[in-house]
Amino acid sequence: MAIYLTNASVYRAKGEFDDKSTVMIAGGKIKSVGKTAIPRGAKRTEWKLPHEAYRRWLEGPITRPGQRPVPPDLGELVVDCAGLRIYPGLLDPHTHIGCFEDGAGAVGFHGNEYTDPNTAHLNIKDSINPHDLAIPEVAAAGVTCVGIFPGSANLIGGLCISCKMYGRTIDEMLVDEKQGLKMALGENPFRVYGSQNKFPGTRFACAAGVRAAFDEAQHYMERQQAWLKKKKADRDKEPFKRDRKLENIAGALRGEYPVRYHAHRADDIYTAIRLSKEFGFRLIMEHTTEGHKLADVLAREKILCDVGPTLTNRAKYELRERNTRTLGILHKAGVHVSLSTDHPVIPLQYIMLQAAVAVKDGLPESAAIDVMTINTAKHMGLEKRIGSLAARKDADLFVADGDILDPRHHVLATFIDGFCVHAV
């Protein structure tokens, strides 16, 4: 099967489009972008046909774990997209979709485990509801893949994942089950545990708690290496005692995945940088609300920074300097930035509104789409698969009737892995 989306204005990068271009997709991948010959006999159609095929697929057998879903073969189809724009699927590196469920209230809040400041052994994939009402809504807005994180109540919250915005099981959605180790500094952990008269109750206790956990993980790695050097008979006689908390921290120490550090205030951001240098883990900053105060440091250290949510009220003290200029300031300083909604804090389907306001307040318009696509793909370590329209990448894209920075646009169709998951 191949679908030819023809005569479109196709987004390339840095705010530029190719006019009267064709995107060919087949087998869940983009096969070509540009001046593509349409084969004789190809059937001209609209979005209804591939979308109905997707709806039939939803009623079929569940995909086996470890396999990516493959769209059904519909033959050769051509959709005329004259006057329309094709964009790469929008991405958000930091959300809580599926674990803080839309419309469920407290019964749907499964992103924070408030009983221990160190829950490194948890993986947020075990809390995801694929039937969260928000998921089809964000796909209908052109969002195709997101990072999903534990909340920020704990110093170490657990493993993050990345997921496509469709699927009946977590395995059908899952792209990467080790996107990073979620950690947090600042008001959330010391407020949660300080209010229970537990450790940590202050900022320096937060840093101390992290050091203690990482010291223990380093000792765990040393013990494991010593055990591995023993003869097999001795290892069989005395098996190594597994500790998943320490194992997941050790993965970050070995560089298998980054630490995704929640921090708003400049002093907490700087503490995260100091801790990363002390223990040697790869750091990605999340939220970076006061990042504009450390733009030169973040640029010099080449730290990837997610900025957002930017359209919230100042609900707590450490958001007092939240503003919509931070993204533009960091971009101009040379920091690699992406944009986040922290869904459900800002509903994910409104991510382009945050980008539009950032443009109004200093982000170059030529960078606005990239901070929601290829920049985010690099932030997630998935730039070889998603984030731009290029051959051999996943067929994650959407078709709009106008500029997505203009809130009056409409998303007419969204494709994820070649499935037409949304159509009007």
Q: In this predicted model, what pLDDT tens digit does every residue of 349-384 receive, in sequence order? A: 999 999 999 999 999 999 999 999 999 999 999 999
**Both tokens assigned to 135:** 């998921």
Between 66 and 394, where is the model more confident? 394
| The pLDDT of residue 1 is above 90 | no
How far is Cα 237 from Cα 171, in angstroms, rounded to an integer? 37
| The pLDDT of residue 24 is above 90 | yes
How far is Cα 90 from Cα 370, in angstroms, rounded to an integer? 9
What's residue 38's pLDDT? 93
Instruction: Write the single-letter amino acid at 96.
Output: H
Which residue, among 164, 154, 165, has the nearest Cα to 192 in the 3D structure? Answer: 154
Share of the chain above pLDDT 90, in %: 99
At residue 419, what are phi and psi to the nearest 5 degrees?
A: -80, 135
Predicted TM-score (pTM) of the model is 0.97
Annotated domain spans of the chain? 1-88+389-424, 90-386
CATH class of 1-88+389-424: mainly beta
Contact 341, 92 (CB under 8 A): yes
211-216 long-range CB contacts below 8 Å, 24 or more apart? 211/275, 211/278, 213/118, 213/120, 213/155, 213/156, 213/245, 213/249, 214/249, 214/253, 214/275, 214/279, 216/246, 216/249
Q: Does domain 90-386 have CATH number 3.20.20.140?
A: yes
Span 3-21, average pLDDT = 97
User: Where does the pLDDT of residue 91 fall: very low under 50, low under 70, confident under 90, or very high at 90 and above?
Assistant: very high
